[in-house]
Structure 1
């Protein structure tokens, strides 16, 4: 089985800028440079045949390169606790349009449509139940609330395979398509 997702990779200077924020929350599992991405669509586990169909379908998705900038930070909550910290990006329109194109391409090969609202973001850390406490998380959010960057381009649509194990997932590029 192949655990897949579709994403965009920020350029190295933006990834370095994000890495500079990754401290101050005890036991947070911060993303390393190879893990920093902006997810367009999580696919999940599929067999080899489905993975091949997904590659073909995504090869027909066309969009112009997307220009965005970092815009603040936030956290996702699950069962009353923060379980992830993220950086926002803006504007959302082109990203949301590309998300819809990717979703429609995947629906055409038999995958279920995305079940949740799309919020463009870059995950910076995952938090286990015992990672940090409210004050550390709140302090990190306040310290980085004004996170911003110059406008940068996202030039490639990438299909990744996620390999779980150990402390962190490892992401492998399956296929990459230029935007434009």
Structure 2
């Protein structure tokens, strides 16, 4: 079985911007993984292992999102998840709009219908820029606030589709488009 997830793919012009951010941040943040710019996305639902017959069922269920209207989001800004001294994830922010939350809930319901557990945590949309802290030392208290001032610019991102991705852990880029679902 392969691992899959459902996401909004970051468009090329924003991939370039966030890739530039990553290059500037690598000097200050010792992370093990810096995703390839073509792998940048906003996760809607991580599935993990999916049997082939379930993938086909999921493809059918996800067609429901095609009834939704395309929309815009503001993306940008920097933040972290995890221990503030050694954060496990460094991310670019994503505006949490009603339309995005509705889209995420529909995707969650589609996954639930084919047997996946509903995510209990609150949905916190973001674009992962780096993960897996590898530094021996901790961040100073001033580092993140300083970077938040530097990387505060927001960009508008048009969301016209969502993607079912297959993960290839040993490749770069590591995410393969399996199916794309266009919004209205």
- Tell me the TM-score range normalised by the shorter chain: 0.7 to 0.9
Contact 2:85 2:140 in 1 (8 A): no
Task: After the TM superposition, list the runs of 4 or more consecutive aligned residues in structure 1 that deviate by more than 4 angstroms.
Answer: none
Q: What count of residue pairs does the alignment treat as equivalent?
A: 178
**What is the aligned counterpart of 1:55 among 49, 59, 63?**
59
In structure 1, the gaps of 5 or more residues are none
Residue 73, structure 1, aligned to residue 101, structure 2: no
TM-score, normalised relative to structure 1: 0.87
SS of equivalent to 1:31: coil
Contact 2:5 2:47 in 1 (8 A): yes
Answer 1 or 2: which has greater helix percent: 2
Q: Deviations over 1:56-96 (max 9, x none)?
A: 11122231112011242111116974111001111432111
Classify 1:73/1:155 alpha carbon distance in 2 versus 1 (closer, same or farther; 3 Å).
same
What are the equivalent positions in structure 2 for 1:9-158 lying under 5 Å apart?
A: 9-22=9-22, 23-24=26-27, 25-61=29-65, 62-77=67-82, 81-128=86-133, 130-131=134-135, 133-135=137-139, 139=143, 142-145=146-149, 146-158=151-163
Classify 1:13/1:133 alpha carbon distance in 2 versus 1 (closer, same or farther; 3 Å).
farther
TM-score, normalised relative to structure 2: 0.85
Q: Matched residues in 2 for 1:165 and 1:138: separation?
A: 36
Contact 2:79 2:144 in 1 (8 A): no
Q: Matched residues in 1 for 2:144 and 2:85: separation?
A: 18
Matched residue, 1:173: 177
SS of equivalent to 2:100: helix
Q: Matched residues in 1 for 2:46 and 2:156: separation?
A: 25
